[in-house]
A and B are shown apart, each in its own frame.
Chain A
Amino acid sequence: MSTATLEKPAAAKPKVILAEGNEAAALGVALARPDMVAVYPITPQSSLVEHVAKLIADGKMDADIVDAEGEHSVLSVLQGAALAGGRTYTATCGPGLAFMFEPYFRTSGMRLPMVMTIVTRDGITPQSVWGGHQDAMTVREVGWIQIYCESVQEVLDTTIMAFKIAEHHDVMLPVNVCLDGNYLSYGASRVELPPQAEVDAFMGDKDVNWHVALDPSRPMAVDPLTGGSGGKGPSTFVRYRKGQCKGMQNALAVIEEVHEEWAQRFGRRFAPLVEEYRLDDADYAIMTLGSMSGAAKDAVDAARDAGRKVGLIKLKTFSPFPVVALQKALAKVKALGVVDRSVGFRWNCGPMYQETMGALYRLGRFIPSMSFIGGLAGADITEAHFQRVIAETEALLTNPAPTEPVWLNEKD
């Protein structure tokens, strides 16, 4: 299981520690030097904000921390701080994300470049406190950039990069760094800590409210009423919305640039949008998102060893959906199996599968495909599960595609 390719050693020798994903996220936040962190605890995010609070309490992080009375206020406090020029951070998941939906929608509309980790958790009900992508997937239409991490190291690195992506003047959108609840949040592994000075150099100057500010030294009315059916309203509203979409599309290139710069500075290269794994000579591919990709790659390796021409496509950036990069990968295969850790209720399939179908349509070539749903509510997706995924995807080369999704953990 390796997601980063070591290109060159960093200038200063990095500090190496053993950390869980939540701690790695907290350390990444500290390195990015936000002005304000607002927190409200929720499983499985709690240890993340506890780490942040401890870092601040220990003087290892210079930020104001607001223990708000709920996620709704968490995001609202941060909106205020961002409008006053602060770099801002929080983390949440599941019900907490649902509770903050009202300000969540608004953050992207106001183009506030904050970073929020979603320690992903399945949706309730059924009552559950374990991982799954249902929370993040449910809010995929709200204008936040959403990036999924595969490893603890990627969590740390991506958390830092997320600030730079969000604050890029061509983007100015909030970013969710999604790290899988349970598997990544509590999974400990070796992590390299980049030196603060180099992170500072990477981050550059902070300039988060040049476009919209609540600052008596440059008074403006923030978010006046617009829209409606007459006068300047409709056009104004459309231009705001179109600008959000433009920022989202701009983010595709910016995410790539930032990852490239990260690789140059720190020697760790992560596929920014879409990772192609053993795909070049593959007949068919399986597609993954987040931490499941490790087990999936192991399964692909084993299948390759057995002579089967399978490859893997891993999405890192889910939103904006990297249509072009994905098409480039899809063009290489004749069948596709997509594994989701959440459901799309409307289409009876996984959400990533559904989105991928859109990208496939634009490819102009029919590829048989099917949807796998696994890892809900903390369930493991093991190599054995992926062996099944590989087998059933391979069958698409000869058999008609099933219309029903495959529920991987149904009989576990």
Chain B
Amino acid sequence: MPNTKYLVVGSSHAALEAVQAIRMHDSEGSLTLLTRDSHLPYSPTVLPYVVSGRSAPNAVALRDDAYFTQHKVDFVRGKAVKSLHADRNAVELDDGSEIAYERLLLATGASPAIPPIEGIGSVSYHVLRTLDDATKLNAAMKQAKQAVVMGAGLVGMHAAENLVKAGVPVTIVEMAKQLTDGYFDATAAGLIEKAFTDNGAKILTGSRVVKLAPSSLGATLTLDSGATLEADLLLVATGVRANIGFLNGSGALVAHDRGILVDETMQTSAANVWAAGDVAQAKGFFSEDKVMNAILPDAAEQGRIAGQAMVGDPGLRRYPGGIPLNTYHFFGRHAISVGSSKVPEGGEVFTRFDEASGRYLKAIFLDGRLRGIYGVNEFFDGGVMCQLILRGTDLTPVKERFLAEPMKVGRELMSKLWR
């Protein structure tokens, strides 16, 4: 059985950061990077741009073969882990072979969650999680006459915008009462919705698809209102689910909930096994509850911590907890959200909205400390805001100025606090 000192499963941000962290500290120990994907590493976040054609599929790689050669990484593509045998430090692959490890990182990410809608198996639909999904969707988009996007999260919204720009009539169907629920509030969502409707998209919020059936065009969707929609291009973008199927053999050893439960160094309940990225369920920043925070910056952070922990890097700093961070670029406008969207008990909310310019700012405070900040067309430094939240900086003395000019005052604080 081949064995490797470090086995990293997955090839996106968490996995790549872990590899980097391991190699910072141990330049020689055998390291295998294993992915079920057949491509060089890429980010799921870039896929909407592959769909739109802005990014060429062959130009999105985050690492090339030279990197792996230089860093002595055995990069194995096209092989998935079928079972984890944490009791004997080995993984079993889908081809039946096994690899023994000394330390394992599970960064297997997530897959689209397909809602259990009647008839969904009878129609063809797209998802968007892999590069192959993206190239397929890009091809389909060029022929599409009528598109429906199920789910108004960022993946669905990006794809919908692409379809709009490609001249395909598109309808977005979202269960929640607003678009981008969980990312932005109703006001921001209203701005986003307006941008979409101004560009010809149809938005159906508060609507659920209850039935799917094949039709001459492609598929007929029946909504909970009874109305129907026709589509020759259907994208299901209703969320993701952590890839933890391979735990079946080690389910008892590796504690899991919606994802694999990890501690502050990304270690799982099993010896020699760590998890990071979209597959991991780690503590949130605002509470000790373990949450799924399937966003790119958090995946990178978790991957790095896991790599440092695996390699015994004394520079390891414990995971402070996930802070939601999102940026969203739509029809030439920008929306940024940093931190919690929930207003805690005793919290304060500040909003500023200029309808004429479409500039919107919302900030949430607790005890004078920033908890979350959102902006549409209101540019501030997301990284600076994130630090203010992480550090629990008391903004009481500068709050008025901060709200008036968050970028300027944020930078001032940066200069004083962590220059």
In the complex, A touching B (Cβ < 8 A): no
